[in-house]
Amino acid sequence: MKTRSDNRRALPKFFLTILGAGLFGGVLGFAAGFLNVGNLADSVRQALSVALTASAPWGIPVTNLIALGIGWGLYAKAKGLYRTWNGEDEDTIDAAEEQLSWALLMSAVALLCDLFFFSVAVVYVGSPAAMGAFIVAFFVGVGVATVLQQKVVDLTKKINPEKRGSVYDMQFQKKWMDSCDESEQRQIGQACYKAYLAATKVCLWIWVALMVLHFAFGTGLLPAAAVLAVFGVLQITYTLESIRLGRKGGAL
């Protein structure tokens, strides 16, 4: 009875959401088609191409300078807190670990920007000499970000001597997870589940956006298929792992 009651309460909202999304998509599709008919799509495409081509040479250096500069500053602050730690003050060491977490986030932002602007260079820059410079800048940025991650992990291991793993080890995530206690593993699991939910929603919205943009820009099937591939990996991996962990002895 409770299940049926829950379904009855949720069903109208579900249908209204689907109807609203369909109407919204239809309006956007019509607008996108209108833009294409008016040749505005070509103008937007050309403007975007000019903007990306102009920003390509500066993208990697500038974003790395900002993101990694902040990241290294956060690491230095955490290291300073660790040096003043008396081994008992939990507030001090908690603040240091939070700074290290933010430093890791900034390294991830830097890597994301590196990948994006390298993709821009591949698509919009045709000069072999310029591509050589982009490749050098890309690997320098990735190298600096990786060293920052290594420093963060090493300091975390000093704070928590039970931690194991090296950033340069291909099995780092597994070894690090195995060295965490049950409370930390639950925290990682909750964070991963939230990331899974966010990624699932983002994939669906990107797919809808790509379908609408196709009317104006002719994006084709490949971008949508790539998003659906990521969506499929998320769904299938999550379900299979849930089945495995649900078996006797499967959970940690």
Mean pLDDT of 217-244: 88
Mean pLDDT of 101-128: 88
Domain boundaries, the chain: 35-180, 181-247
Q: 155: which 2 tokens? A: 């300091």
For residue 11, pLDDT over 80 is answered with no
For residue 140, pLDDT over 60 is answered with yes
Least confident segment among 89-103, 119-133, 148-162: 119-133
pLDDT computed for residue 209 by the predictor: 84
Who contacts 66 (Cβ-Cβ below 8 Å, separation ≥6)? none
Q: Are 141 and 114 in contact (CB under 8 A)?
A: yes
For residue 194, pLDDT over 90 is answered with yes
Q: Which residues of 170-208 are buried (b: 16+ CB within 10 A; e: fewer)?
A: eeeeeebeebbeeeeeeeeeeeeeeeeeeeeeebeebbb
Who contacts 107 (Cβ-Cβ below 8 Å, separation ≥6)? 67, 68, 71, 145, 146, 148, 149, 152
In tens, the pLDDT along 31-60 reads: 655 555 555 566 767 777 778 778 877 888
For residue 26, pLDDT over 70 is answered with no
- DSSP classification of residue 162: T
